[in-house]
């Protein structure tokens, strides 16, 4: 059946992919990948030979109409990102929106998303939370964080290892050094780390080491 499938891929350990995801990737007519080189390793590992095309934030605006038309004309397509679920801080939203507007069917498979295990393992309240994704790299960072000063829900952020300590310093500036938080990195990989404590303790911890891997920061909401 012609359809756009959003297929989550492992955020680290390749064993985290589902059997259904492997089957869909083998059965669709073509795969759209954020980075064909990165995804090429995944497809080769699971012996998937489906034709793959590049689909990222720099070309998606030009491609989505054509892709939706291909699906409407009877082809099936799987969208994958470098890791995790497409459109969650990754390309995908525009394609999904276009397919829905044109009447093409869209289905998202359940699967890996980095912020869920980071939140669950943080020890912070998880019944209510807000996902903020990546902060702006330059302009707008302070404004974004200052708008969250009174946020009572647990807050979740993605961050680069190169900006981790700067972001923790920014959080201390607006949330205070004693606010509880957790930093998860290298999720499901050999050197996975879940560091927990106050923002100041986490800043001290990561200032004293070289940080690698993708980062998820979980910050306690305002209390009292």
Q: Domain boundary at 108, 123, 151, which?
A: 108
Query: Please, what sign has the CA dihedral across residues 90, 91, 95, 101?
Result: positive
Per-residue confidence at 127, pLDDT binned at 50, 70, 90? very high
Query: Is 164 within the bounds of a domain?
Result: yes
Task: Return the CATH number at 104.
Answer: 3.40.1010.10
pLDDT tens-digit profile of 170-201? 999 999 999 999 999 999 999 999 999 999 99
pTM comes to 0.92
For the stretch 194-205, pLDDT in tens is 999 999 999 999
Cα 154 to Cα 37: distance, rounded to the nearest angstrom: 35
Q: How many CB atoms lie within 10 A of CB 79?
A: 26
Instruction: Check whether residue 33 and residue 77 sit in a common domain.
Output: yes
- The reply to whether 129 and 103 lie within a common domain is no
Same domain, 68 and 121: no
How many domains would you assign to the chain? 2
Q: 187 in a domain, yes or no? A: yes
Residue ranges making up the domain that contains 53:
4-108
Q: Are residues 18 and 41 in the same domain?
A: yes
| Residues 70 and 160 placed together within one structural domain of the fold | no
Residue 119 shares a structural domain with residue 77: no
Tell me if 161 is assigned to some domain. Answer: yes
d(CA 190, CA 185): 11
Same domain, 213 and 120: yes
Flag whether 42 is in a domain.
Answer: yes
Locate 219 and state its tokens.
Answer: 């910050």
CATH number of the CATH domain containing 186: 3.30.950.10
Cα-only R_g, the chain: 19
């Amino acid at each position: 059946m012609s359809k756009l499938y959003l297929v989550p891929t492992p955020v680290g350990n390749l064993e985290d992919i589902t059997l259904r995801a492997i089957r869909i990737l083998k059965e669709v007519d073509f795969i759209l990948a954020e980075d064909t080189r990165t995804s090429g390793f995944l497809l080769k590992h699971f012996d998937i030979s489906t034709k793959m095309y590049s689909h990222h934030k720099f070309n998606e605006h030009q491609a989505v109409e054509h892709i939706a038309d291909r699906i409407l004309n009877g082809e099936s397509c799987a969208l994958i990102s470098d890791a995790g679920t497409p459109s969650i801080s990754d390309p995908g939203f525009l394609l999904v929106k276009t397919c829905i507007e044109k009447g093409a069917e869209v289905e998202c498979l359940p699967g890996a998303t980095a912020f869920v295990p980071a939140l669950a393992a943080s020890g912070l309240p998880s019944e209510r939370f807000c996902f903020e994704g990546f902060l702006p790299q330059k302009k707008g960072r302070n404004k974004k964080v200052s708008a969250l000063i009174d946020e009572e829900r647990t807050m979740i952020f993605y961050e680069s290892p190169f900006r981790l300590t700067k972001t923790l310093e920014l959080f201390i500036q607006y949330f205070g050094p004693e606010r509880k938080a957790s930093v998860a990195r290298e999720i499901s990989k050999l050197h996975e780390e879940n560091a927990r404590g106050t923002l100041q303790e986490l800043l001290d911890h990561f200032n004293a080491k070289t940080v690698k891997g993708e980062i998820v920061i979980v910050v306690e909401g305002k209390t009292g």
